[in-house]
Amino acid sequence: MNNTTLLAVNGTLMRGLELNGNMTAAGGVFLREDHTDPHYRLWSIGDRHPGMIRVAAGGTSVALEIWELPLASFAALLLSEPAGLAIGKVTLRDGNQVLGVLAEPWLVDNQKDITAHGSWRAYTGHFYSA
């Protein structure tokens, strides 16, 4: 039995950002940078964190990070996420699916659409260098 899962993150849980400590405290291990397939839109939620939703048309490929996370700490990490963010299946550009952080549709109402930026990092200017 596998005691870990892959988790795609596109916002403040990423390396060097505000809530990355929650990811590492939960035992998360960074695996790689990746992108979604071109069916996602991205919003800035009050300029605090992004919200990403899969769409049928008008989407783009969103940059994200893939982490390996122990199943035993998965729930604790989710409980630390802001309201309106949930876990769903995210399709990567290679067609594989992994669990990922997605926004509930109500969360993006009247928020700033930042899809054209392609990522939270590009929108905020907070790039990571190891």
Q: Is the pLDDT of residue 101 over 90?
A: yes
> Does 130 map to a domain?
no
The pLDDT value recorded for residue 66 is: 98
Strand 29-35 relative to strand 63-70: parallel, antiparallel, unpaired? Answer: antiparallel
Stretch 4-9: mean pLDDT, rounded?
96
Cβ burial of 2 (10 Å; 0-12, 13-18, 19+) is exposed
What is the per-residue burial (b if ≥16 Cβ within 10 Å, else e) of 45-76?
Answer: beeebbbbbbeeeebbbbbbbbbebeeebbee
- Which residues form the domain of 73? 4-124
Q: Is residue 110 part of a domain?
A: yes
Report the pLDDT value the prediction gives residue 76, as an integer from 0 to 100: 85
Average pLDDT over every residue of 106-125: 95
CA angle 28, 32, 35 (to 5 degrees): 115
pLDDT at position 57 over 90: yes
What pLDDT score was predicted for residue 10? 95
Q: Which of 59-68, 92-101, 121-130 has the lowest mean pLDDT?
A: 121-130
pLDDT of 129 reads: 63
Residue 81 lies in a domain: yes
Whether 68 is covered by a domain: the verdict is yes
Here the CATH number for the domain that contains residue 114 is 3.10.490.10
- Percent over 90 (pLDDT), the chain: 83
Q: Based on the number of CB atoms within 10 Å of its own CB, is 5 exposed (0-12), middle (13-18) or buried (19 or more)?
A: middle
When the pLDDT of each residue in the chain is averaged and rounded to a whole number, the result is 93
In this predicted structure, which of 26-35, 78-87, 96-105 has the lowest mean pLDDT?
78-87
Count of domains in the chain? Answer: 1
Q: Which helix (DSSP H) or strand (DSSP E) does residue 120 occupy? A: helix 120-124
